[in-house]
């Protein structure tokens, strides 16, 4: 009963990037544990078609990923741990094309990020165990999967550690320059 009395709704904050939204969630805590509403269609009016959950160990870096066709909007939440979430705006006609946005998402800060279609997405894991939940508005299509290398000189992200754990696939991603020559934007 106490949880219901103290319950507050989540709040949406706009960023300087069109349609890129920070969703601050209310975490209700009592002696039993906590309750956190991560999605409410009345507040985040988006149509998601599937979701998945990843786990990443400390110093794991995933990305930058995107699909060239059948693009996906993503809503990212951290259920356990803490990540540095980073996106690159790849939308052709966007005034923020090629610019990056970084935010720390964690179980503790109860913050989610809605990433519209046309962005490349990556994250770095700070904790021993990090559990990340994604809701997506389009299905995964491996034949359209692509990416930009995490340490691209033009994008120039300052990651928390120089030595990170990457998948073999992520080590072979293209540069931002090659992306621009090949696609000129999404």
- Residues annotated as catalytic are 65, 134
CB 152 within 8 A of CB 126: no
Query: What's the alpha-carbon Rg for the chain, to the nearest Å?
Result: 17
- Torsion of Cα atoms, 160 then 165 then 169 then 175, to 10°: 30
CB 106 within 8 A of CB 82: yes
CB 111 within 8 A of CB 103: yes
2 Cβ neighbours under 8 A, 6+ residues apart: 30
169 Cβ neighbours under 8 A, 6+ residues apart: 147
- Torsion of Cα atoms, 29 then 132 then 161 then 140, to 10°: -160
d(CA 183, CA 171): 20
């Amino acid at each position: 009963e106490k949880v219901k009395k103290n319950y507050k709704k989540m709040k949406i904050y706009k960023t300087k990037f069109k349609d890129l939204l920070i969703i601050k969630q209310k975490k209700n805590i009592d002696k039993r544990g906590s309750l956190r509403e991560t999605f409410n269609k009345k507040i985040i009016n988006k149509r998601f078609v599937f979701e998945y959950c990843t786990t990443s160990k400390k110093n794991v870096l995933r990305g930058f990923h995107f699909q060239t066709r059948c693009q996906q909007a993503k809503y990212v939440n951290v259920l356990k741990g803490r990540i540095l979430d980073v996106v690159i705006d790849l939308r052709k006609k966007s005034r923020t094309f090629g610019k990056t946005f970084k935010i720390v998402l964690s179980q503790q800060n109860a913050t989610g990020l809605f990433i519209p279609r046309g962005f490349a997405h990556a994250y770095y894991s700070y904790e021993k165990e990090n559990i990340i939940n994604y809701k997506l508005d389009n299905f995964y299509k491996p034949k359209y999967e692509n990416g930009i290398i995490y340490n691209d000189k033009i994008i120039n992200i300052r990651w928390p550690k120089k030595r990170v754990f990457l998948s073999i696939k992520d080590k072979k991603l293209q540069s931002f320059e090659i992306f621009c020559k090949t696609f000129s934007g999404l």
